[in-house]
Structure formats: C-alpha cells, structure tokens
Chain A
C-alpha cells in the first residue's frame, strides 16, 4: 500500500475515534492495531514503544484528573491532599484511552510503513525537495549515531580506558559521567564533521534538486483506487470529527 494511503487512513481513524470518545471504539482500534502489528511480526516492538510512551502519559492523566479531584462526588479515597473520585478516574481513563489510540496507531504506522518508501513517496510528491532528505536523514540519524557510538566505544575499550589511572580513582558516578563524556564529545564532533564533509558533495550531486520534475529510482506503486481512498480519508479526517462534534452538541 502507498505510504500516504496508510497515513491518511490512520489520520481518519485517530481523529474520528478521538471525536467519538467511546471506549469500546477506542479499545477496538487499539486491538486492531495490535493485530496488524502481530501479522507483521512486530507486536512486541509496537507494544514496547506504546508502553514506553503511554505509561508516563497515563500517570500524568491520573495525577491531573483523578488523584487530586475536588469536583467529583463519589469519593473512593481521601487522605490529606489526596482525593480520588470515580468521576476523576473516569475522565482520566477516557483521556488515557484516546491518547492510547493516537500512540498505538502511530506506532503501528511506524512499523507498517517502510521508511525508504515513505521518503521516496515524499520525494515524488509536490513538496520542497529538502523534505524527503530531511525525513530520511532524521530517520537514519538514530541508527547511524548508534553505529558511530559503538565504534567509539570499541576504540575506547581497546585503549583500556576503564583501567586508566583517573578512571580507577573515580567513584561510580564520576566513572559513569566520564564514560558518557568520553563518548558524547567524539560522537558530536564526528557527527558535525561528517555533516560538514558531506554537504559539498550533496550540492555537487544536485541536492536540493532544481529540476522541474524530480524522479526516484525506487518505484512506489500507487493506483487510482488508492488515490481515491486517500482523498476520502484526508477529507474524512476533518469532516467526520466535525460532524460527530456537531451531532454531539445538537
């Protein structure tokens, strides 16, 4: 499927589910997403990423809406500043579930869409030529930095820096800080150096493109049906929640 189609459908699902604010719908969307991730063999990745984001978010929702609620009447627990009400818990749960939809859909899209296809699709779209490169460079940044950090760590391990006199004298915190500093400085310096060295060659290779029409060697298959679905989903992502909200207000 074309990456833009996936993104448009995801946007429609998120905005509509958020506007509906019905927990069975939100829960169903989350389960469907986990199912999609499972079929691609990425259930653990989606679950881990979603959990890492949602746990602190849910905690904050709980603190804001439930633990210190002054408005609710059904008090479940009260002790000093703490005042837990069933109304506050309900609000926190509803908002938490809506955020869960956003996060899980986002994580599922991230594993469902091939980043190189997405970059190619952006390159072929009528957007500034830097957009695709920026996305590609950003997406590649973390793995590249990881590789670079490993190389630096290897080099430092080879020099037995842990056995260096200053390392032996330092306490555990200072040793940890020393390790971070030792890796961070060369990591940043080498990354800046690398970017500066690449820049003139990118320019020499015609980036950013000034051609009337950019092309890509990578084909991103599309179809009339998909274009139709995309447009409908994009319009729906705005119209459907608006209709739901208007209907709800009426």
Chain B
C-alpha cells in the first residue's frame, strides 16, 4: 500500500471534487481537487481573491450545494437546472458521501458540522443573533445538543481560556469589535470540537496578539489529533506551520513548496516616539509632508460613543454623549503624508476615524478639517446599496468620466455591471473604496482597508494611497497588517491597549 493510500485510509477528511458549478453559471468554480486531511495536520490553502476558497470551504462543510433538510445522508432523485452542481465524493471520518448531477444529497447539517466545522469569512454570520452574552453565544451549539449546564460552563470556559476570551464572556455580543466577533465565532465553533476545522481567513482583522493566540490554539488542536484546514489569501503565521500548503488557482489545487518562514511582523521602521498626551507611540519615516499644511487636526480630543440607543450620526446634528474610548488625542495630518493607525482589537481605531470623518463629535477637545473627507468603512456592506457597481460608484456623481476613471484605476471595469453583493469580498472592498475615491477627497480615511484584499488588491491599495498623498492629499488608515503599514505609511501611530475599547460599533476596529 502506498503512503498516500495509507494516509487516505486514516484520513479525517478525504475530498475528491471532480467539479463544482454554481447554478446558472457555465464555468466550473472548482475542478479536479483532491484533498486528504490526516489526523493532527494543519493544511493551508492559499488562493487569490475569487479563486474559489470560500466555495471550497463551503463544499467541505456540507453547505454547498445547499443541503435538503433531513437525517443521515441519503441520495434522492432531484434535478433543477438552477441548482448548484457538485460531482464529488467526500469521506468524513469513515463515512462516504457521494454527490452527482441530478442527485440531491440530504444532509444533517449538525451531524456534518460535528465532523467538519466551518468558520466563515464573515465571522458575524456564524453568530446566532439570539444570545445576549458571549458565553451564551459560545454555548449555543451545546445548548442545542442538550449538554448539561455544568459541562457547558466547563467547555465554554476552556475554549475561552484557549482563545483569550475570558474577559469577554459576560460582554454583550452586539457590542463586540470586528476582531472580537471573529474570536467569539471561532470559540463557538471550537466548543463542539469537530474532527476537522475549516477556517476561512481566521486571522483577518485580528491584532498581533490575537493572531498569535489563534495560531497557537490551532497548533495545539493538531497536537491533540484534530485537524485544521486554513484558507487564506496570503501566506501568514499559520501557513508557515502547515504540514501541507496548497495553492488554489483556476479552480484547482496545486501543491506548494513549504511556505517560507513568515517572521513575526516587525514594527514599522523608525524611532518610536511616545506621545505624552495619548500614550500612543508614533514611528516615523521620511515624510513628504513635514512642512505641508495640516488637513486634519485633532487637539486634546476625547473620543467615544454615548449610549448606543442615543448615538446618532453627527455630520449634521452632532451630539456629545458617553464615556471616552480615547482621551487626550493630538494628531495632525499634513498634506502629502500617509499615516497608519495601529492598535489592538477594540482599542478605538474606528472611533478615531469616525470622529475624524465627522460621523462622531469629540466628547472633548477639537477637530479641525480642511478640504473634503472620505472614509472607507470597515464593513463594505455598510457602504454599498445600489444594483450595479457602476451605479454604486456613480451615485450622486455628475461626472461619468470620473466614475470610469476610478473603475479603471481599481480594475473594476469588468465587473461594472455586476451586483456588488455578488462579488467576492476583496472586490467588494475595492468597490467600496471606489465610492470614496470618486468624490476625490483631500483626506482619505480607511478603516482596515487591507482586510479581504489579496496581494494584487494590496498592490492596488498601496498605489491608491501613494497617489492620494502624492497629489497633495493625506491618508490615515487603520490596520493590523504591520508589513503593509511599514510599506505604505510615512508615519505609524500606535494606540495603546487594552485599556480602551470601542463599546458601540459592532464593526469596530
């Protein structure tokens, strides 16, 4: 028996996907894929935006094609030309499920998830929306299984300790930042301890400490005989630990050479200068804007949200309410410079950007703005509401040529007629950026612009930021990507944690 066959026999998951095609689409999204996941292994699948990572993850998790409700997997005749078509054989912990055209497989979603659990790219979609506290959200699946309360408490506590969530267990789920939501979703997935975890971009939007915890936790799972499939746009800290790294391109999987060691991200180059007022520290590199005019200035500002029920947009009706998240903020953004804002999840980066944009009024101090302000929100979905990309970008704009210019510049001309919601996350991110750029802002503010972008998207973004600063504008962006910050920013501001948090915005930093 060959080594490969021996491995397949012992595999927790053995997937042979001949093809997968979405209903109504001619082309195959996946084809000729063979993926064997042995116990105790970490498999990394690296693929650019639109390569089919999310589709592959959902197929492995039994969510594509959409299953008919029912009990144990049973083949039943059914055919609809609009149905997704999967030709595949999946073996989960010794159980074999065959998919073929014209056959719809009835799947027990919970039973499947007990073997192969999926963390979706949009982590908040994993959350039930029906539980108040983080602890209850993590326990949701255990509750549905009827696990006794003492045992539930024990398991919730254990997984929270593993992922560093002990301090959040009593927190309202609706008040979590984006990164915290991802960690909670991961804990809620892990608490049922499936044999294989399929994680779609598990490190996106996490700060360095949280990323380290997740990587260590995944390694620990593998050491205990469980397996992890890690889907990512770029090589990262987890891919370097992978036993097997595959490249997903053109719908097929290719084996990769072992990932090059991704060293822990170094801080941006330059001396670290602590700011007396904020406790924030700033790293500098030669800036073109040292003597340029200030386009944005926060002076002695206390920033925060009020009672969430009372908080309002304040572009026209400012309100000053609530406890500050950040105090004594002094920041001046000069024409021609690009500044990166770094800090732990929930520290207040989104609050600072929203205040700079005029969506929030400072609780104290002043904000002075010169020129037009544009803000790319963290959640692209909040920024998109039209039927096509062209209509979206052109909304409220009198200059069609400007729209075409921005679409061309971001490589979006080919999808101009598509609905924004039907695009991959990275492309949607660029569409949201296009809606900001088309207004030609003097100050470009971006909240986590690198999230969801692959290498090509990051190159585009870097070019956009450089162009904005190079033409007399200024850029302030928040990120957890130290490499990107070092490459794109003239100056780095670090917000200290963990004292503050962004208590209001569910999509916060």
Q: Contact residues of A with B, CB < 8 Å?
A: 116, 119, 123, 129, 132-133, 136-137, 140, 143-144, 146-147, 150-161, 163-167, 182, 185-186, 189-190, 193-194, 197-198, 200-219
Contact across chains for A209 and B109 when beta carbons are under 8 A apart: no
Known contacts A160-B396, A186-B385, A193-B421; is-contact A217 B374 (Cβ 8 Å): no
Q: Which residues of B contact A217 (CB under 8 A)?
A: 135-136, 139, 142-143, 149, 152-153, 156
Number of interface residues of B (CB under 8 A): 70
Please tell me if B146 contacts chain A, counting CB pairs below 8 Å. Answer: yes
List 18 contacting pairs A-B, 8 Å CB cutoff, sorted by A: A136-B131, A140-B129, A150-B312, A150-B313, A151-B379, A155-B383, A156-B385, A160-B439, A163-B396, A185-B385, A189-B421, A197-B125, A198-B129, A204-B63, A205-B128, A207-B128, A211-B146, A216-B143
Q: Which residues of A contact B143 (CB under 8 A)?
A: 123, 209, 214-217
In the complex, A186 Cα to B142 Cα: how many Å?
A: 34
Selected contact of B122 from candidates A123, A150, A185, A197, CB within 8 Å: A197
Please choose the segment from B97-105, B110-118, B203-211, B275-283 that sits at the chain A interface, where 4 or more of its residues have CB less than 8 A away.
Answer: B110-118
Q: How far is the CB of A23 from chain B (nearest CB, A)?
A: 36
In the complex, A140 Cα to B506 Cα: how many Å?
A: 14
Residues B125-141 near A (CB distance < 8 A): 125-132, 135-136, 139-141
Q: Which residues of B contact A155 (CB under 8 A)?
A: 377, 382-383, 385
Q: Contact residues of B with A, CB < 8 Å?
A: 61-63, 66, 69, 109-110, 112-113, 117-118, 120, 122, 125-132, 135-136, 139-149, 152-153, 156, 174, 188, 192, 308-309, 311-313, 315-316, 354, 357, 359, 373-375, 377, 379, 381-385, 395-398, 421, 435-436, 439, 506-507
Q: Which residues of B contact A123 (CB under 8 A)?
A: 143
Interface hub of A163, A165, A202 (most chain B Cβ within 10 A): A202
Contact across chains for B113 and A213 when beta carbons are under 8 A apart: no
In the complex, A88 Cα to B379 Cα: how many Å?
A: 59
Q: Which residues of A contact B435 (CB under 8 A)?
A: 159
Residue of A nearest to B107 (CB): A203
In the complex, A161 Cα to B397 Cα: how many Å?
A: 9
Residue of A nearest to B63 (CB): A200
Contact across chains for B149 and A219 when beta carbons are under 8 A apart: yes
In the complex, A155 Cα to B381 Cα: how many Å?
A: 10
Interface of A, helix, strand, loop or mixed by DSSP: helix
Q: Which residues of B contact A152 (CB under 8 A)?
A: 382, 385
In the complex, A167 Cα to B398 Cα: how many Å?
A: 12
Selected contact of A211 from candidates B131, B144, B397, CB within 8 Å: B144
Known contacts A205-B141, A206-B144, A211-B145; is-contact A154 B382 (Cβ 8 Å): yes
Contact across chains for A205 and B113 when beta carbons are under 8 A apart: yes
Selected contact of A161 from candidates B130, B145, B395, CB within 8 Å: B395
Contact across chains for A209 and B145 when beta carbons are under 8 A apart: yes
Residue of B nearest to A185 (CB): B385
Known contacts A204-B118, A217-B143; is-contact A158 B357 (Cβ 8 Å): yes
Q: How many A-B residue pairs have CB under 8 A?
A: 163
Q: How far is the CB of A203 from chain B (nearest CB, A)?
A: 4
Contact across chains for A144 and B129 when beta carbons are under 8 A apart: yes
Residue of A nearest to B441 (CB): A158
In the complex, A159 Cα to B315 Cα: how many Å?
A: 11
Contact across chains for B109 and A200 when beta carbons are under 8 A apart: yes
Selected contact of B375 from candidates A129, A143, A146, A158, CB within 8 Å: A158
Contact across chains for B359 and A213 when beta carbons are under 8 A apart: no
Contact across chains for A215 and B174 when beta carbons are under 8 A apart: no
Known contacts A193-B421, A217-B136; is-contact A165 B398 (Cβ 8 Å): yes
Selected contact of B146 from candidates A137, A143, A214, CB within 8 Å: A214
In the complex, A216 Cα to B141 Cα: how many Å?
A: 10
In the complex, A184 Cα to B59 Cα: how many Å?
A: 34
In the complex, A185 Cα to B315 Cα: how many Å?
A: 22
Selected contact of A158 from candidates B120, B142, B374, CB within 8 Å: B374
Q: How far is the CB of A41 from chain B (nearest CB, A)?
A: 14
Residue of B nearest to A186 (CB): B385
Q: How far is the CB of A230 from chain B (nearest CB, A)?
A: 22
In the complex, A248 Cα to B382 Cα: how many Å?
A: 61
9 interchain residue pairs of minimum CB distance: A164-B396, A186-B385, A206-B144, A211-B146, A203-B109, A204-B113, A136-B130, A209-B144, A206-B110
Q: How far is the CB of A60 from chain B (nearest CB, A)?
A: 31
Interface hub of B130, B149, B313, B377 (most chain A Cβ within 10 A): B130
In the complex, A163 Cα to B149 Cα: how many Å?
A: 56
Q: Which residues of B contact A214 (CB under 8 A)?
A: 143-144, 146
Known contacts A155-B383, A197-B122, A203-B110; is-contact A133 B130 (Cβ 8 Å): yes
In the complex, A224 Cα to B145 Cα: how many Å?
A: 27
In the complex, A112 Cα to B132 Cα: how many Å?
A: 17
Q: Which residues of B contact A165 (CB under 8 A)?
A: 396, 398
Add 7 more A-B contacts to A116-B131, A205-B128, A215-B152 (CB < 8 A).
A140-B130, A151-B379, A154-B313, A155-B382, A189-B421, A198-B125, A203-B110
In the complex, A215 Cα to B142 Cα: how many Å?
A: 8
